[in-house]
C-alpha cells in the first residue's frame, strides 16, 4: 500500500456497522454481568438470566435495521457508494438483509441454548455466540481479502471454543479439538491462497482483483480460465480448501460429523446455519465477483477454470453427504451429513450463477436463487437442531429413535418438525421445494456450452434428493409411526419457538415465496455489482500497475 494520507474515517459510516458494534459491546456486557452481579448464583438461574439478556442482542439488531425504515428514507441510505471504511466493507442490501437473517438465526440459537444446562460458563458462552455472529456479519459484508480473513477467523475461533463447551462430555471436547485442528490447517492454506492472489494481482480488494484479472486477460488476449496459470490455479485451489472447510464440502468435510455430534445442539446449529451461510456468501463474492475472469469454460477444450473444480466438488459433496447420511442413527450426525449434502446443492447453484447468460437487471437472479436457498436451508436446519436440543434436555441423548412417539405426545411440534423434514427433502408445498426449483431452474439460463454439464449436475442433485428422502423419512417414521415409553417431556419454550418459527417460514415462503425471492435477488445484484469508487487519488486504491510485471513473470514461467 502506498503510504498516502488516508482521509479520516467518516464516523457517520459507523451507523451502517451498528449491528456489529452493538453485538460486540453486548457480548462484553454479558461477560461482565455473568462474573459481576450474577456471581455465585447457580448455573441454571444464570443460564436464564444471561440467556434472556443475550436475546436483547439480536433484538437490538432488528431495531437498528428497522430504524432507517421508521425514520424514513435518507436517514441511513442515499449514499451512492455502498462501501464503507475505504471500500473494505459493504453497506449494501446484501449486508443489511443478511444481518437480519443472522440476527434471526442467532436468536433461535440463543433460545435453544436456554433449554438445558450443559455448561457453567454462561456469560462466556453467550458472548461467544454473539461474537461469532459479529464475525458472520462482517464476513458477509467484507469486500477486501484481509477483512474477509479476519472475519472468518473471528467467527471460527468463537465457534471452536463454543463447540467444546459441554465440558462434562468428552465428545464435546473432541468436537472442539477436531474442529480446531482441521480449521486451523484450512485457515493457513486459505491465507496462503489469499497471499498468492495478492501477489498475482497486487491488490486485496475484491473488485480490484476482478479489474486486474479482466485487464490481464484482455492484455494477453486469452479467454478466461486458468489454463497454464500454475500460481493462479494454486491460489484458487487453496482458497477453495478454506471455503470447502467452512462449508463442509467433500473432501474437506471430515470434521463435520464428529463436531456436529459432539458439540451441544445449539452450537451445532450455529455452525450448520450461520457459519455456513456467511461462508457461502463470502465464497460467492470471491468466486462470482473477484475471480469471475478465472471461471473458465465448462465444456470444450478452451481454458479450464474453477468452474470445473467446483462442479466436481459439488457432485462429490452431495452424493457423499446423502449416502453417508443413510447410515446414521444419531440425529445430529444425520443432520451433519445432510448439511454436507445441502452444501453440494448450493455449489451447483453457485455454478449456475457463474455460467448464467442473463444480463442486465436480471443478471443476479441466479445468485439470488442461491441466497434464497441458503436462507431457507439455514432456517430449517436450525429448527431441526432444536429438536436435538429438546432430546438432549429431556433424555440426555439425541438419537433419531429418541423421537419415537412424539407425534402423539406433542402433535403440534411433531407436525412442525415433519414440515421441516419435508422442506429439507424439497417436497412441495414447502419452501425447500421452491428454493430447489428456483435454483435448479437456473439451468435454463446457463451458457449453451455449460448447459449439459449443469443438467447432469441437476439430475444428480434430484437423484440425491430421492436418497435424502430415505433418511429424512426415518425422522417422520420415528415421530408418527412408532411408539415409545420414554419421552423427552414437554418442550421448553426455547426449543418450541424456533421449531414453530422455522416451520412457519418453510410453509409461508413455500406458498408465497415472492417477497423473500425478490429481496434475495436485490441482495445478489448488490453483491455482484459492487464496485470500488473510481479510485480518486487520495484513496488507498489498488495499484493495477503492479499486476503487469507479475503476470509477465507468470508468462515466463509458463
Partner 1 sequence: MATLLVVTVLLPLLGGLALLLAPKLDHKAARWVALATTLATLAFSLVLVGAFQVGDASAQFAFEGADGHAGLPWVAVGSGPGIRFALGLDGVALSLFALTSLLLVTSVFCSWSSITERAPTYYALLLFLETGLLGLFASLDVVLFYIFFEFTLIPLFFLVGLYGGPERRRASITFFLYTLAGSLLTLLGVIALIVVHYRFSTPQVLTFSIPELTEGLSRITSADWAFTRPLADSFSLSQFLLQPQVFIFLLLFAGFAIKVPLFPFHTWLPLAHVEAPTAGSVLLAGVLLKVGGYGFLRFNLAMTPMGTAVLAPMLVAISVIGIIYGALTALAQTDVKRLVAYSSVSHMGFIALGLFSMTLVSVDGAVLQMINHGLTTGALFACVGVLYERYHTREMDRMGGIWKRLPLFAFFLILASMGSAAVPGLNGFVGEFPILAGSFSRFPRATVVAAIGIILGAYYLFLMLQKVIFGPLREPGGEGHGHGHDDSAGVPPVQWYEIAGLAPLLALIVIIGLYPKPFYDRITPSVESIVARFPAEGAGMSTEPNQTVSAPGEDSPRALLARSAQVTAP
| Binding interface with partner 1 (CB under 8 A) | 358, 362, 365, 411, 422, 425, 427-429, 433-434, 437-438, 440-441, 443-445, 451, 455, 458-459, 462-463, 465-466, 469-470, 473, 476-477, 480-482, 513-514, 517
Residue closer to partner 1 (CB basis): 109 or 431: 431
Min separation Cβ 333 and partner 1, Å: 21
CA–CA dist 151, 171 (Å, integer): 27
Nearest CA-CA partner of 223 in 160, 161, 295: 295
Min separation Cβ 423 and partner 1, Å: 12
Q: Do 335 and 381 touch, CB atoms closer than 8 A?
A: yes
Q: Which residue in this structure is represented by grid cell 431457507?
A: 376
Encode burial over 421-446: b for 16+ CB neighbours within 10 A, e otherwise.
bbbbbbbeebbbbbbbebbbebbebb
CA atoms within 13 A on the CB side of 147: 23
Q: Do 260 and 388 touch, CB atoms closer than 8 A?
A: no
Residue closer to partner 1 (CB basis): 78 or 360: 360
- What phi, psi does 144 have (nearest 5°)? -145, 145
Min separation Cβ 431 and partner 1, Å: 11
Residue closer to partner 1 (CB basis): 189 or 478: 478
Min separation Cβ 306 and partner 1, Å: 25
Cα–chain center distance at 80: 27
Residue closer to partner 1 (CB basis): 171 or 477: 477
Min separation Cβ 477 and partner 1, Å: 6
Min separation Cβ 368 and partner 1, Å: 11
Q: Which residue in this structure is represented by grid cell 482458497?
A: 239
Min separation Cβ 274 and partner 1, Å: 27
Residue closer to partner 1 (CB basis): 241 or 479: 479
CA–CA dist 380, 105 (Å, integer): 10
CA angle, residues 434, 522, 452, in degrees to nearest 5: 55
Residue closer to partner 1 (CB basis): 70 or 514: 514
CA angle, residues 17, 23, 24, in degrees to nearest 5: 90
Min separation Cβ 377 and partner 1, Å: 18
Residue closer to partner 1 (CB basis): 65 or 507: 507
Min separation Cβ 478 and partner 1, Å: 11
> Under DSSP, is residue 399 helix (H, G, I), strand (E, B) or coil?
strand
For strands 89-90 and 83-84, give the pairing: antiparallel
Cis ω before 229 (30° cut-off from 0) = no
Residue closer to partner 1 (CB basis): 204 or 496: 496
Cα–chain center distance at 222: 34
Residue closer to partner 1 (CB basis): 88 or 356: 356
Encode burial over 135-154: b for 16+ CB neighbours within 10 A, e otherwise.
bbbbbbbbbbbebbbebbbb
Amino acid at each position: 500500500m502506498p503510504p498516502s494520507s488516508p482521509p479520516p474515517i467518516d464516523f457517520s459510516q459507523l451507523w451502517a456497522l451498528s449491528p456489529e458494534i452493538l453485538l460486540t459491546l453486548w457480548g462484553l456486557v454479558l461477560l461482565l454481568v455473568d462474573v459481576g452481579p450474577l456471581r455465585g448464583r447457580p448455573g441454571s438461574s444464570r443460564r436464564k438470566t444471561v440467556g434472556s439478556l443475550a436475546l436483547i442482542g439480536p433484538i437490538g439488531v432488528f431495531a437498528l435495521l428497522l430504524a432507517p425504515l421508521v425514520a424514513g428514507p435518507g436517514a441511513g441510505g442515499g449514499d451512492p457508494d455502498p462501501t464503507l471504511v475505504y471500500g473494505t466493507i459493504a453497506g449494501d442490501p446484501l449486508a443489511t438483509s443478511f444481518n437480519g437473517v443472522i440476527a434471526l438465526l442467532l436468536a433461535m440459537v440463543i433460545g435453544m441454548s436456554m433449554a438445558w444446562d450443559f455448561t457453567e460458563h454462561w456469560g462466556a458462552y453467550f458472548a461467544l455466540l454473539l461474537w461469532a455472529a459479529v464475525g458472520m456479519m462482517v464476513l458477509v459484508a467484507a469486500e477486501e481479502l484481509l477483512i474477509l480473513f479476519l472475519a472468518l477467523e473471528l467467527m471460527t475461533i468463537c465457534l471452536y471454543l463454543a463447540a467444546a463447551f459441554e465440558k462434562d462430555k468428552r465428545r464435546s471436547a473432541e468436537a472442539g479439538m477436531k474442529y480446531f485442528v482441521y480449521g486451523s490447517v484450512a485457515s493457513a492454506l486459505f491465507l496462503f491462497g489469499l497471499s498468492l492472489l495478492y501477489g498475482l494481482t497486487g491488490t486485496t480488494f475484491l473488485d480490484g482483483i476482478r479489474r486486474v484479472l479482466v485487464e490481464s486477460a484482455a492484455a494477453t488476449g486469452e479467454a478466461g480460465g486458468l489454463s497454464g496459470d500454475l500460481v493462479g490455479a494454486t491460489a484458487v485451489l487453496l482458497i477453495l480448501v478454506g471455503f470447502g472447510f467452512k462449508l463442509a464440502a467433500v473432501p474437506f468435510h471430515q470434521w463435520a460429523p464428529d463436531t456436529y455430534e459432539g458439540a451441544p445442539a445449539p452450537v451445532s446449529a450455529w455452525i450448520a446455519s450461520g457459519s455456513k451461510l456467511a461462508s457461502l456468501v463470502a465464497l460467492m463474492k470471491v468466486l462470482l465477483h473477484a475471480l469471475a475472469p478465472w471461471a473458465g469454460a465448462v465444456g470444450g477444450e478452451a481454458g479450464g477454470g474453477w468452474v470445473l473444480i467446483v462442479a466436481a466438488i459439488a457432485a462429490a459433496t452431495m452424493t457423499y453427504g446423502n449416502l453417508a447420511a443413510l447410515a446414521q442413527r444419531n440425529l445430529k450426525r444425520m443432520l451433519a451429513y445432510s448439511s454436507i449434502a445441502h452444501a453440494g446443492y448450493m455449489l451447483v447453484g453457485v455454478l449456475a450463477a457463474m455460467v448464467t447468460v442473463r444480463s442486465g437487471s436480471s443478471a443476479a437472479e441466479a445468485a439470488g436463487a442461491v441466497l434464497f436457498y441458503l436462507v431457507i436451508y439455514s432456517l430449517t436446519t436450525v429448527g431441526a437442531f432444536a429438536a436435538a436440543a429438546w432430546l438432549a434436555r429431556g433424555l440426555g441423548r439425541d438419537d433419531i429413535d429418541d423421537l419415537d412417539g412424539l407425534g402423539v405426545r406433542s402433535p403440534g411440534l411433531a407436525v412442525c418438525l415433519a414440515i421441516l423434514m419435508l422442506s429439507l427433502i424439497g417436497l412441495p408445498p414447502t419452501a425447500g421445494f421452491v428454493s430447489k426449483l428456483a435454483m435448479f431452474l437456473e439451468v435454463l439460463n446457463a451458457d449453451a456450452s455449460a448447459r449439459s454439464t449443469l443438467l447432469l449436475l441437476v439430475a444428480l442433485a434430484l437423484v440425491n434428493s430421492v436418497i435424502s428422502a430415505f433418511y429424512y423419512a426415518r425422522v417422520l417414521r420415528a415421530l408418527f409411526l412408532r411408539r415409545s415409553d420414554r419421552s423427552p417431556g414437554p418442550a421448553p419454550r426455547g426449543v418450541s419457538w424456533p421449531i414453530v418459527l422455522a416451520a412457519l417460514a418453510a410453509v409461508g415462503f413455500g406458498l408465497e415465496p415472492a417477497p423473500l425471492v425478490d429481496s434475495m435477488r436485490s441482495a445478489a445484484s448488490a453483491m455482484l455489482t459492487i464496485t470500488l469508487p473510481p479510485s480518486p487519488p487520495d484513496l488507498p486504491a489498488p495499484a493495477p500497475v503492479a499486476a503487469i510485471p507479475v503476470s509477465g513473470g507468470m508468462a515466463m514461467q509458463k
